[in-house]
Amino acid sequence: MSETSEDSGAPAPGSRRPGGRTARTRTAVRDAVLTGLTEHGYPALTVEYVAEHSGVHKTTLYRRWGGVEGMVADALDLAGEDAWTPPDTGSLAGDLRALAREVVEGFSDPAHAAAPTAFVGAAFQSPRAADALRSFYAERFRRCEEVVTRAMDRGEAPAATDAGAVVRAVSAPLFLRLFVTREPVDESVADQAADAALAAVNAGVFGRRTERPGQASAPGAAVGTSAAGS
């Protein structure tokens, strides 16, 4: 997760964040991108649309973001700059359920769900949006890992638990239903996802792989063990 202004292809030597004119322009563009994405989808999003809805001139948009792909990627980068931290309920079981329920709550409100859904959809069309989405989730899951590292500190989880894999396991059944199988999710599915991940933690399934009994040892690096890992 490097400096976002670099990812968006902006030269931005004079970007005075937060609060300057450049920051205001960036949020205006972000808002227009979100409106366009959620109302019309990525394929219908144009520089003209963003110019009209942000009040920022087309030449500025082209100069600073290069085009639609850059603006979508930057909107995602901006979304990743929030101060969100994972829940801290005092137990791993509680934290994992709280994480899963946050996902369900976030997507039960269509107005709330529209933007993240549009970003996931845009990534199928735009390589730059896909890169930005990957960065966004890498950072988001990195923050989530804290609930697992705290649990390890408390002795609630095996010492070498792969925190990145655990927090992905909690969200995965929800994201599967939201974005792939398009089935409804509710608190019951959230709790089940959290409890399943917890059971796997307790069974030692998320131990960082060096060697594992049974079955041929898998080739290649362990993906769940992200480079940004704790």
Give contact residues for its own copies (rule: CB under 8 A).
41-43, 97, 117-118, 120-121, 123-125, 130, 133-134, 137-138, 141, 165, 168-169, 171-173, 175-177, 179-193, 195-197, 199-200, 202-203, 205-206, 209, 212, 215, 218-224, 226
Q: Which residues pair with 161 in a beta bridge?
A: 207
CB of 185 to its own copies, least distance (A): 6
Q: Note whether 230 and 163 are within 8 A (CB).
A: yes
Q: Copy the structure tokens of residue 37.
A: 């994405």
Nearer to its own copies, 5 or 161 (CB): 161
Residue type, 18: P
Nearer to its own copies, 2 or 215 (CB): 215
CB of 20 to its own copies, least distance (A): 32
CB of 100 to its own copies, least distance (A): 11
C-alpha span between 207 and 3 (Å, rounded)? 32
Nearer to its own copies, 12 or 222 (CB): 222
Nearer to its own copies, 86 or 173 (CB): 173
What Cα–Cα distance (Å) separates residue 101 from each residue in 38, 74, 93, 96, 169?
23, 28, 12, 9, 14
What Cα–Cα distance (Å) separates residue 37 from each residue in 31, 118, 176?
10, 6, 21
CB of 1 to its own copies, least distance (A): 14
Which residues make Cβ contacts (< 8 Å) with residue 220, sequence separation at least 6? Answer: none
Tell whether omega for the bond before 18 is within 30 degrees of 0, i.e. cis.
yes
Nearer to its own copies, 14 or 214 (CB): 214
CB of 12 to its own copies, least distance (A): 26
Nearer to its own copies, 15 or 125 (CB): 125
Q: Note whether 222 and 208 are within 8 A (CB).
A: yes
CB of 217 to its own copies, least distance (A): 8
C-alpha span between 166 and 192 (Å, rounded)? 14
